């Protein structure tokens, strides 16, 4: 069993974005009553977890205009048009970045895509407070991202309990063995392994090679970051990935339907764990 080090606020790029997310969450408190009412009337959404179980390595395709690591990717991208292309190409789900300052995202994108395509939608943001998950449910997201390094273990537990109470699926993102053990101990049933260290922005493709085989077979395992080609998907299929999350290369593709179709066609290989 890993010995968990005392949690410290993240450094680097992740630390900056987490601080901004905390300010946004604080400002959202004035909308709590409205969000609670919206949650009460929210309709059932398709399951992302179920959609990612398929004979091929499932593709969670991301609408991504820019990022701290790459800068501008596709600044004028229309979220609905891109999501429709992903659906035609065989994506299992759509990831919508709603972080505005560093990724050019918007909750309006999520609302529009949720109404335009039948695929499950992940709200991808830096969720650091329960009210943000209330917003995710109110917006009609099927699932929301939680980044283990972004929050303390106690806050992670609170967020996971909140998400479950709202009927929201949770994709829990890790980058090392200790974070994976923590995510599993809190009952994560979808785990994303990020090859990118969000504090330094460096990518190590071997991160997924190392961690995905450690994820129990009953849990959805997703390789994230640095996945651009069918060969990349083959690499993570070989270590047992159920799915890949791909954003930059698809958002920038000249022919996104064809690019989606190529990445979504790799057969899945079951994990031994």
99 annotated active-site: no
186 annotated active-site: no
Tokens coding 157: 């537990």
Distances (CA, A) of 170 to 15, 64, 86, 158, 219: 21, 20, 22, 13, 12
Catalytic residue among 123, 142, 224, 249: 224
195 annotated active-site: no
Catalytic residue among 67, 142, 194, 251: 194
173 annotated active-site: yes
5 annotated active-site: no
Whole-angstrom distance, CA of residue 139 vs CA of residue 136 = 5
Catalytic residue among 67, 95, 225, 248: 225
Distances (CA, A) of 241 to 183, 232, 244, 264: 17, 11, 7, 13
Catalytic residue among 84, 99, 135, 173: 173
Tokens coding 32: 């709590």
Catalytic residue among 95, 123, 124, 179: 124
Catalytic residue among 64, 142, 169, 195: 64
Phi, psi (deg, nearest 5) at residue 114: -60, -35
Locate the DSSP E strands across the chain. Answer: 58-63, 66-67, 71-72, 93-97, 121-124, 143-147, 169-174, 190-194, 220-224, 243-246
User: Using an 8 Å Cβ cutoff, are 138 and 39 in contact?
Assistant: yes
Rounded to the nearest 10 degrees, how much is the dihedral formed by the CA atoms of 67, 70, 75, 80? -60
The residues annotated with a catalytic role in the active site are 62, 64, 124, 173, 194, 224-225
């Amino acid at each position: 069993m890993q010995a968990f080090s005392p949690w410290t606020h993240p450094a680097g790029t992740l630390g900056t974005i987490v601080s901004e997310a905390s300010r946004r969450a604080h400002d959202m408190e004035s909308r709590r009553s409205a969000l609670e009412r919206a949650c009460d009337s929210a309709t059932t959404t398709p399951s992302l977890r179920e959609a990612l179980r398929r004979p091929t390595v499932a593709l969670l395709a991301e609408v991504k205009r820019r990022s701290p690591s790459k800068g501008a990717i596709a600044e004028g991208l229309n979220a609905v048009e891109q999501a429709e292309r992903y659906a035609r190409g065989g994506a299992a789900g759509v990831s919508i970045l709603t972080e505005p300052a560093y990724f050019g995202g918007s909750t309006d994108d999520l609302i529009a895509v949720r109404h335009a395509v039948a695929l499950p939608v992940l709200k991808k943001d830096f969720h650091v407070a329960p009210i943000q998950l209330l917003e995710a449910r109110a917006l009609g997201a099927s699932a929301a991202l939680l980044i283990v390094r972004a929050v303390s273990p106690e806050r992670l537990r609170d967020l996971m309990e909140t998400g479950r109470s709202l009927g929201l699926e949770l994709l829990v993102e890790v980058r090392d063995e200790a974070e994976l053990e923590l995510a599993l101990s809190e009952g994560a049933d979808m785990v994303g392994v990020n090859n990118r260290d969000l504090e330094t922005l460096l990518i190590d493709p071997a991160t997924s090679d190392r961690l995905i085989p450690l994820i129990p077979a009953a849990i959805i395992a997703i390789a994230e970051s640095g996945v651009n080609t069918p060969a990349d998907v083959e690499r993570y299929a070989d270590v047992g990935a159920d799915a890949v999350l791909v954003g930059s290369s698809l958002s920038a593709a000249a022919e996104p339907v064809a690019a989606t179709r190529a990445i979504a066609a790799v057969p899945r290989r079951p994990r031994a764990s």
